[in-house]
Chain A
Amino acid sequence: MIFMDRLRVAIVGAGIVGASIARILSSYQNVDILLIDKEPDVGWGSSKANTSIIHPCHEEDPRVHLLRAELCLRGNKLWREWVEELEIPAKWPGELMIFTDSDEEKRAREFLELAKMNKVPGVRVVDREELKILEPNVSNEVLGALYAPTAGIISPFEAVIAIVENAVDNGVKLLTETYVEKVRVSSGRVLGVETSRGFIEADIVINASGIYADKISHTAGVELDFKIVPRRGEYVLFDEDVDVKPTKILHTTPTPRTKGVYAITTVHGNLMIGPTAEDLPIDAKEDLSTTVEGVEYVLREARKLLRSVPPKSRIIRMFAGLRPEPPGGQWLIKVYEDPWGFVNVAGIRSPGLTAAPAIAEYVVKLIEDTYDIKLAKKNSWSRFRRDMVRVRNRSLEEVDKLIEKNPDYGEIVCICKTVSKAEVLEAVERILKIGAKVTLDGIKFRTYAGFGKCQGSFCRWRIALLISEKLGIPLNEVVVKKSSYGIGDVKMLWREAI
């Protein structure tokens, strides 16, 4: 048994996995946790651009991916607690795996067998008649579906934000805009991480860096053959007011490569369709571009699911995310004795979002067991985190009362999504509190300002003005995502020229 006064843990990557590990670790005594991310804010990698599904786990074959199946099931259960404790927007509509021909039906029924193996509750095949009742908006081309009632949808970027806020409340330190360049190892032990902000000491380094997890592992001299393929998924988002929106999660029957194309109504009420599944070259780790072919593909597939798909002109956003695809689809979750202190939580592809809370538990236990460390729980760990008060969710009577306490709730700056000045200012405070950088995108993810029909053309400058006033910086220095809103004074080019 190793006794240490304080265990210093550095987690590389503040995505859903890294944040969940940080939260779990923060419930133990004598652990100093540093959560590091290269982006200005948390969850900006794969965590913010995925299908948002909490899977029932009947698509995980325990004979091939036992760990994935087990942690997926445990995660599905844990999320039900986490969304309540952390006030993360979530809904549990259940899902329908649609099949349109006999081949697809055959594949779908194979998943029924997996459901039995994994003990996933309530899974059954439904025929056309019942399908049309379960989901009136389903397309006419369908033969039937595999119904799995325990599926849910969360807001993935809000989930990461909520988890990090809770973790920071419980003592975790966040460092954003910090690149980890190398894991420093000496004499078979981890010493810490070399970052763009200098060297940071750590006893344990947990690699949860998503798309880059292979590179980070290689810098520690670990798993040099392990390569993560960036698998790009493109999505299309429509506004809330389209005619046809599914009540349940709909998706096409998975192939060996992908989970199929989904049509869902997000927790915010938008129709979202996607993803594609395109393997990019190993080094294309930053390619988040959308393509015409990708957009057309997802819209085509969606016609198998929905009785009508809105025209392209109703699209309010197209985006893409990269999934970290490991060799053979096998998650690499391992605690190393050589170098001692290095932990890989790598290649966490689907069902990564679903399993994240369970992965975090598992990793902590694996660390305890492998290193023979006994961690003691804190007496005063705060498991709860309150979400922001939002005008858009409240009745007019409630809004009136809010305004009485704070008139800024009565000043609506985002017309499309009814977001008040008070919420924008609170979002700024929350970003500063966790130690991230204030950006227009960060405000957007926390308030939904800019998510609506106008995509920010009405409100972006108003939000930027509020940020500029609150932070005391010139308007043009407000950061959009990674660069500034304006390049300078309107006369700057003339002044340079004279």
Chain B
Amino acid sequence: MKILNYDTVIIGGGPAGIAAAIRTTELGLKSILLENRDVLGGIPLQCIHPGFGLHYFREDLTGTEFITRLIDKLEKTGVEYIVKAYVHSVEYKDFDKKIVNVITPRGVLKINTKTVVFTTGARERHIFEIGVVGDRPDGIYTAGEAQTLMDIYGILPGKEVVIVGSGDVGLIMARRFALEGAKVKAVVEILPYPGGLMRNVMQCLIDFNIPLLLQHTVVKVVGRKRVERVVVAKVDKDLKPIKGTEFEIPCDTLVISAGLRPYIDLLEKLGVVVDPSTGGPVVNEYLETSVPGVFVAGNVLVINDLVDYAVEQGELAAEGVKIFVENNGIPTKTWRRVRKGRSIRLAIPHMVSGERDVILYARVSVPEKNVFVEIPEIGFKMFSFGVRPAEMLRLRLGKEMFSKLSDNVNEITLEVKPR
């Protein structure tokens, strides 16, 4: 068993973790990045479509190109990392002392560290948690799994596909299946509007004449050995299947793309406060959780649409780590709570100080056209032709905006107002 000492341990070598590790290393902190798989890169390794790096590199890159550039930057910066490393547990010993226990093929490591950055990403919702009953045949995959099989291992999971959920991953996979010659019978979406970006609805479904069944759900799977068909029904406004509207779609493959959830197992064991609307930890503007010195970034914090945001959050967390290490903790501030106003489903961070520029990431609850996104207390007002739950808002609040706030105001409200 080896005992090591670091300023920060970054858990999870996807885009957020790599970005965090690059920045902490650049900032002169003794850092180590841990990744469970045998390669760094995470999900973008299997994303062969463009839409990555528009903000970060100012280029429209494929996920694969984006992550290669990021990994090259990591190597160039000289970031220390270990692959095939499994974090068994994280112990909170003190304000500035945590122990990260790691299992690797070279033995167990006990890493004493001042701070931990969790960038463990998200997991996919599976068929049971979305309540699909029936048989449990072969031929059921989550969308990410199907993507790994097709776009890393060159395997076709099936040829007559029904996709549950119109989130981006599902839409992307609908196009992948269609391009490789499979028949995508339908994308079944329980809400009255699609779950993914409009560009994906257009380029993945409309382009390929794939039916998008809004306000429908797969109620049952049927199949002896492999999937043979699914039973689909329309849903009412409470999202419950309407009796009598059931119909069958024959297929041999069911792809579940019903959403991602932050993978917070280790964080829950540390006792972090979780925001039920994001499924991730409650954080301040340094992306520090309720446990001092424990930071989060990327999909484990909030499910992001763009990898650029995950990377930005990684860098933000790194800067938070630097401040923590230099000051032996984040200096005490008068935190202002970010309150969710009209039509805001989630907003990160949950607490801002007003002493520095801050970036707010938020999602609206319902689609609306021609609206203002506002924070009345500081006079922030932004017009948008259209807001959708699937498209995350990224709002830059300069610290000068907060100068208008009087000291006794301890919350700011983010809200959507019709024009």
Task: Mark A residues whose CB is within 8 Å of B.
Answer: 241, 286, 288-292, 294-295, 312-319, 391, 396-397, 399-400, 403-404, 407-408, 410-412, 415-416, 418, 453-458, 460-461, 465, 475-476, 480-494, 497
Contact = CB atoms under 8 A, between A and B. Distances in A.
A480 B138 contact: yes
Contact of A490 (B124, B154, B225, B263): B154
B235 to A, nearest CB: 13
B108 interface: yes
Closest 5 CB pairs of A and B: A493-B181, A412-B86, A486-B155, A410-B105, A407-B105
A118 B394 CA distance: 71
A415 B136 contact: no
Which of B136, B158, B159, B219 has the most chain A CB atoms closer than 10 A to its own CB? B136
A378 to B, nearest CB: 40
A411 B105 contact: yes
Given A288-B136, A457-B145, A487-B157, A412 B36 contact: yes
B155 A454 contact: no
B330 interface: no
A437 to B, nearest CB: 13
Contacts of B343: none
B94 interface: no
A453 B263 CA distance: 10
Nearest to A421: B105
A143 to B, nearest CB: 33
Contacts of A493: 156, 159, 180-182
Given A314-B129, A403-B106, A403-B108, A492 B156 contact: yes
A471 to B, nearest CB: 16
Nearest to A478: B155
Given A314-B129, A461-B149, A481-B138, A454 B123 contact: yes
Interface in B382-409: none
Nearest to A398: B108
A250 B405 CA distance: 57
B153 A475 contact: yes
A114 B119 CA distance: 58
Contacts of B158: 486-487
Contact of B108 (A289, A396, A456): A396
Contact of B1 (A288, A290, A396, A482): A396
Contacts of B134: 289-290
Contacts of B149: 461, 475-476, 485-486
Contacts of B142: 457
A455 B108 contact: no
A316 B123 contact: no
A421 to B, nearest CB: 8
Given A457-B126, A487-B159, A292 B133 contact: yes
Contacts of A289: 133-135, 220, 222
B133 A291 contact: yes
Contacts of A391: 103
Given A313-B129, A403-B108, A489 B155 contact: yes
A390 to B, nearest CB: 13
Contact of B106 (A407, A412, A454, A475): A407
A7 B219 CA distance: 52
B80 interface: no
Contacts of B222: 289
Interface in B103-152: 103-108, 110, 123-124, 126-129, 131, 133-139, 142, 144-145, 148-150
A30 B132 CA distance: 51
Given A410-B105, A490-B180, A493-B182, A455 B156 contact: no
Contacts of A290: 133-134
A461 B180 contact: no
B118 to A, nearest CB: 13
A415 B157 contact: no
Contacts of A407: 105-106
A492 B153 CA distance: 14
